[in-house]
Chains A and B, each alone.
Chain A
Amino acid sequence: MPKQLLQGNQAIAMAAEVAGVKFFAGYPITPASEIIHEMVNKRHIKVLQMEDEIASINAVIGASLAGLKAMTATSGPGFSLMQESIGLAHIMEVPLVIVNVQRVGPSTGMPTLPAQGDIIQCKHGSHGDYFPIVFYPNSVAELYKYTVMAFNAAEESLSPVILLSDGYISHLYETIVPHRDFEVVKRTRPPLGTGNRHFTGLSHENSVVKTADADNYRRLIASLQEKQQLTAQRYNYYEYCACTKETDTLLISFGALSRVAYYFRNDFALYRPIRMYPLVEEIKTIAARYKRILMMEMNTGQYVHEIESILRREIQFIPILGGCIDLGEIKREIARVG
């Protein structure tokens, strides 16, 4: 397999094809538009540009239930519009993939510089309780790999899986080897229209609606949660680099920012979650080896609360805001908190 110079968004589109996507619906938005630009050139994929992101995600839900592997791609503002239907896809157990190439918010923010401001929205953007599987790679090669993983996890969990990216990673050009030898999970559920099944956003058991049955609702939510946890265990992806020297500090970061963290590999141990949700449990044993935990994100503190919650200990936090990753600033911030 020859090497190819690819942009992050191109890699996502290529990998989606490898994973067997047959339907794409989306709406233009920087910095995610290159994904639909790539998709329209693929012969065996039905690509629709919809009138907005709400239409996009619902077209994807329809296509998926009717038997096609389906995906959409957007950025923060569009991801916000999709939230109600993401909840719908969870309760209806619809396998699909949503790519969210993050940019600075709220609203139009700093168009269209990168950010990591949608971490909490991935987990809590829709109303009610649901348990998404979320991946966040940090290179073009990883975007390629985890796009396939996202489709596989979606098929196994029968749920919408989110692939996070950001304006840096998605617009980055890197040389990768675009393998096609992934194990691809095939669609097993029969398409909508066969078997007289009803898919509904109402609380239900199989196809039967049960809107006033508290016990059934509790069973439904518990089963959704268990299913997501079980699937996630097969996608236990993270990166841990023990420091070359003795250190008492673990530096946690992800996405674009984690590429800068590699600069500190001779000073600190590094941890990078790739599967953002559900949280990778191994962080507990890794963190136990270090007195101090330092974390940086391109937001005012979103994932740090998740890590604090799972570790039940205080974390020193460095916010990197404004779409700018500056090594000098990060060094100064580390010195300030440290």
Chain B
Amino acid sequence: MTIKSIKNIPDEEILCSGTPACAGCGGLLALRHCLKALGNKTVIVNAAGCFTLLSVYPFTPFANSWLYTAMACAPAGAQGIRDALDILIRKGRLNAQEDVKVVVLTGDGVAYDIGLASTSGAIHRNLDFYYICSDNEAYGNTGFQWSGATPFASKTATTATGCANPTGSQLAKKDLFEIWRSHKPPYLATISPSHPVDLINKFQKAEQFKGPKLFINLSPCPPGWAVDASSSVKFAKLAIDTGIWPLKEAIHGDLRHTFIPGRLKPVEEYLREQGRFAHLFRPVRQEAALQKIQEMVDRYWKEVREKEPPPSGANKQ
């Protein structure tokens, strides 16, 4: 059932307070809503990342079960769980009412880099599972090193800025959404902690599908992005309003944007207050890099507007 307002978000808290995550973690904000939508009958399969720190049983904020896998293969762990549960249900050893949703929860390092092959295999096998990728655009848990999700010009521990490399990361962010979409999974979406209604509705829509249901959340990361912990939602929203993080979904590969901004804010509004992009503004303004980022965003939305003219009322959150 589609909800229209944050008032309709379920009250029940599946993710309890008091986690060891960093203050203002954008991934945790989104995860709280994801779990509200999924309910508490889930098993989370996690590979090394920031959220690994959450599950230190019995001091865990989760009201569900948890499996940790090797970094490269969380979806493979999910495959084993799903198959075993299906067999137990088929043999009558587990009541179908007690079945749980299998949810892979990883960061972008796993999703974009080391675990990409495992996810590809799971989608290809049409594994009935959810995948929530908390994308803070670097390896946040090991000191904010570059990952395949790191955007062009971001400073990270391994794309240090200096005389030799004034711009930071030279590579553009890998388009994981399109990589996953090419597998034509039943449901695939981007989400944001600043748009919880959109987030909840996407999970509810996904529920009707059997097979892979994949979500990528842009997770503002105060320590890594060098922003104030109170500003995560602000930056999540700016990412959407500037067009840097499009909210979209794909059903069996058919793409649709769930929010098409009427008029994009300049990307500078998103970039200039983040420490990881500060070198683009100080000591010398790097016009070429800023223009390149703006052009990438403009090119993307030009194509979107040609294919998907915004329906009336589509911009309401």
What is the interface of chain A, defined by CB distance below 8 A to chain B?
27-30, 33, 36-37, 40-41, 43, 47, 49, 51-52, 77, 81, 107-108
B116 at the interface (CB under 8 A from A): yes
Q: Which residue of B lies closest to A77 (CB)?
A: B71
- Asked whether B113 lies within 8 Å of A36 as measured between CB atoms, the reply is no
- The secondary-structure label for the interface of chain A is loop
What is the interface of chain B, defined by CB distance below 8 A to chain A?
48, 52, 68, 70-72, 109, 113-114, 116, 139, 142-143, 145-146, 148, 157-160, 162, 164
Chain A residues, Cβ within 8 Å of B52:
108
Chain A residues, Cβ within 8 Å of B158:
28, 36-37, 40, 47, 49
The distance in angstroms between the C-alpha atoms of A77 and B69, with both chains bound, is: 12
Chain A residues, Cβ within 8 Å of B72:
52, 81
The distance in angstroms between the C-alpha atoms of A30 and B71, with both chains bound, is: 14
Question: Could you say which of B71, B116, B143, B146 has the most chain A C-beta atoms within 10 Å of its C-beta?
Answer: B71
* B143 contact from A30, A43, A51, A77, Cβ within 8 A: A30
Chain B residues, Cβ within 8 Å of A51:
113-114, 116, 148
Q: Which residue of A lies closest to B150 (CB)?
A: A49
Q: 15 additional contacts, CB 8 Å, given A29-B142, A33-B145, A41-B162?
A: A28-B109, A28-B143, A28-B145, A33-B143, A36-B145, A36-B158, A37-B143, A37-B160, A40-B159, A41-B164, A43-B164, A49-B158, A52-B71, A77-B48, A107-B68
Chain B residues, Cβ within 8 Å of A49:
145-146, 158
Question: Could you say which of B52, B145, B146, B162 has the most chain A C-beta atoms within 10 Å of its C-beta?
Answer: B145
Q: State how many angstroms separate the Cβ of A105 from the closest Cβ of chain B.
A: 12
Q: State how many angstroms separate the Cβ of A113 from the closest Cβ of chain B.
A: 15
Q: How many A-B residue pairs have CB under 8 A?
A: 50
The 6 closest A-B pairs by CB, nearest first: A52-B114, A51-B113, A28-B145, A28-B142, A28-B139, A49-B158
What are 18 A-B interface contacts by the 8 Å CB criterion? A28-B139, A28-B145, A30-B142, A33-B142, A33-B143, A33-B145, A37-B143, A37-B158, A40-B160, A41-B160, A41-B162, A43-B164, A49-B146, A52-B71, A52-B114, A77-B71, A107-B68, A107-B70
- Asked whether B142 lies within 8 Å of A37 as measured between CB atoms, the reply is no
Chain B residues, Cβ within 8 Å of A33:
142-143, 145, 157
Q: Which residue of B lies closest to A81 (CB)?
A: B72
Chain A residues, Cβ within 8 Å of B70:
77, 107
Q: Which residue of B lies closest to A41 (CB)?
A: B160
